[in-house]
Structure 1
């Protein structure tokens, strides 16, 4: 059982993605209303070695020696990966030992105002930062950042990173009806995006159950309308995960693997089947047993039935 790796999981953008968790659940700089990982338990901007990097490297070495080859090794997981002060070392290790493997970092961009963080990320092939709001009120209401995070510094950090980084930047904007889809917020976002100039601007919306209840996703038509209104190069609405054949099975402990995966994010039975290399029928049997034991709960979402860990 891996403690710091998860998947490979089917990603809407990265194919089969082997996830790497460099912070415990749920250490983050934000407490976003829509976060699929649940509420932030430690809201901080302090960088530290939150999980032992030597153990992470040992797990990567073991998995890559015998597991199915992922399309990307992705740093994301159950919190903000740039909080780990040794992130740069892990990226450099992968580049040195597995130069053919693509690496991606998903970050909320809150620490890009720190030149050291920007330097560490230079080794990644792809960085996907997020920007949900360019107004103070919406930033505080939607992303709920740690109080020391300054919106102006946050935006300047994104601009500085784009100017310095030699790799590819896909900037994600989460559109959430009732929060940031009004004309003023969309205008300010467009102005900020034009200054940053990423390679792609990916318009996203709620796909899994969020932290707060009662949230609704934006329609595909609404995302396309926003993209047209902005008129910026490289804007694309992104949809559900692509269909994929299950990965070759490599987990014997299916029930516990399901629990570990759901601890990080809600998933459908189909997501779990693709991630764990098990037939959907077997996954559904395991989920039914876990639900009967009170270990998982279900929630209906536009993309299907999502399972998540029951509250302890």
Structure 2
């Protein structure tokens, strides 16, 4: 399934997700903190995954099944991997604009050096670009890019796109303890963000099960330091630290809702119970999905989450 939610978003309100990358995760990166897991299918060449009409029809049908209270604030391309790998992304955005709902795309920005990728993203209303560091060595350690993507190309793409995009541009920086959270690291990151000049720079920490179990959020002291450094440089920043809430949209089909959301967005236990309640079903559905191996239960920071069963168990051992 292509669409899911809407799910509560700390940036976008109610966000109806659009997963334009089918099957297992396909990405240019394999970030150590990624909630979708380690990348097994690295890609940098764009491919055709879905015809734009297929995406439009599914999203439109999904919207028709939602209650009035669940109508989304944004249609958000947040894929099982990197959404700009989809060569039809621009055409899909144009199609979805017919629904008169703002379009958002969350990208790791690794392909912005490609003029066609930039052209596709120009069709959107709201773009978030990943800027975790201003250091090439940390970028390689934290984001683990495909070998043929250079830091220089990444920086050039950010520069060109940020100067051309007319919509709302946001950046997101994920802080990981001991990797990109020193004072020196934060100052380097801030310099890069200053050059991109986003409308808002979001500072986030891992709150869902990461690809590598060794990943931990920084201390509260470091988070505050990051906020102060960003602010002192004149960057409008916001912290994304907490739980989004349990107000997840539903279509009436509990199995589809659970699988579609879990594919790109681990569901916390309390949110899962609320979703079952909204769909007028019980935990038997959840237990069946667990038994069939379609989803699995994992723990992170003393909280239980349900994720799509696509990958090996990266949470039972250190990497």
Partner of 2:184: 184
SS at match of 1:251: coil
Partner of 2:317: none
Q: Deviations over 1:213-258 (max 9, x none)?
A: 12111244422221102323211111224436453x4223x13532
Partner of 1:125: 125
SS at match of 2:110: coil
For the pair 1:22 / 2:30, whether they are aligned, the reply is: no
Contact kept in structure 2, 1:30 and 1:143, CA below 8 Å: yes
Runs of 4 or more consecutive aligned structure 1 residues displaced over 6 Å after TM superposition: none
Q: Deviations over 1:87-146 (max 9, x none)?
A: 001111122x122x1110000000111121111111111001111122121111110001
CA–CA distance in structure 1, aligned partners of residues 302 and 91 of structure 2: 37
Contact kept in structure 1, 2:245 and 2:271, CA below 8 Å: no
SS at match of 2:272: helix
Partner of 1:200: 200
User: CA, structure 1 residues 238+4, in 2 after alignment: closer, same or farther (shift >3 Å)?
Assistant: same
Partner of 1:39: 38
CA–CA distance in structure 2, aligned partners of residues 31 and 185 of structure 1: 20
Deviates more, 1:23-32 or 1:238-247: 238-247
Where in structure 2 are the equivalents of 1:26-105 lying within 5 Å?
26-68=25-67, 69-95=71-97, 97-99=98-100, 101-105=101-105
Supply the RMSD in Å over aligned alpha carbons. Answer: 2.3
CA–CA distance in structure 1, aligned partners of residues 44 and 12 of structure 2: 27
Deviates more, 1:168-177 or 1:15-24: 15-24
Q: CA deviation at 1:66?
A: 3.4
User: CA, structure 1 residues 10+277, in 2 after alignment: closer, same or farther (shift >3 Å)?
Assistant: farther
CA–CA distance in structure 1, aligned partners of residues 73 and 282 of structure 2: 23
Partner of 2:251: 250
For the pair 1:240 / 2:221, whether they are aligned, the reply is: no
Q: Which runs of 5+ in 2 are unaligned?
A: 313-319
Q: CA deviation at 1:279?
A: 4.4
TM-score (normalised: structure 1)? 0.89
Deviates more, 1:139-148 or 1:278-287: 278-287
Q: CA deviation at 1:290?
A: 3.9
User: CA, structure 1 residues 62+175, in 2 after alignment: closer, same or farther (shift >3 Å)?
Assistant: same
Q: Of residues 6, 9, 12 in structure 2, which corresponds to 1:11?
A: 9
Contact kept in structure 2, 1:250 and 1:277, CA below 8 Å: no
CA–CA distance in structure 2, aligned partners of residues 284 and 268 of structure 1: 14
Q: CA deviation at 1:67?
A: 2.4
SS at match of 1:17: strand
Q: CA deviation at 1:282?
A: 5.1
CA–CA distance in structure 2, aligned partners of residues 239 and 282 of structure 1: 31
User: CA, structure 1 residues 10+184, in 2 after alignment: closer, same or farther (shift >3 Å)?
Assistant: same
Q: CA deviation at 1:259?
A: 3.0
Contact kept in structure 2, 1:269 and 1:284, CA below 8 Å: no
Q: Which runs of 5+ in 1 are unaligned?
A: none
Deviates more, 1:149-158 or 1:256-265: 256-265
Q: CA deviation at 1:168?
A: 0.4
CA–CA distance in structure 2, aligned partners of residues 195 and 265 of structure 1: 31
Contact kept in structure 2, 1:269 and 1:283, CA below 8 Å: no
Q: CA deviation at 1:26?
A: 0.7
Contact kept in structure 2, 1:207 and 1:303, CA below 8 Å: no
Contact kept in structure 2, 1:22 and 1:50, CA below 8 Å: yes
SS at match of 1:278: helix
How many residues end up aligned between the 2 structures?
A: 305
SS at match of 2:277: coil
CA–CA distance in structure 1, aligned partners of residues 293 and 92 of structure 2: 37
User: CA, structure 1 residues 66+286, in 2 after alignment: closer, same or farther (shift >3 Å)?
Assistant: closer
SS at match of 2:271: helix
SS at match of 2:60: helix
Contact kept in structure 2, 1:171 and 1:202, CA below 8 Å: yes
For the pair 1:135 / 2:135, whether they are aligned, the reply is: yes
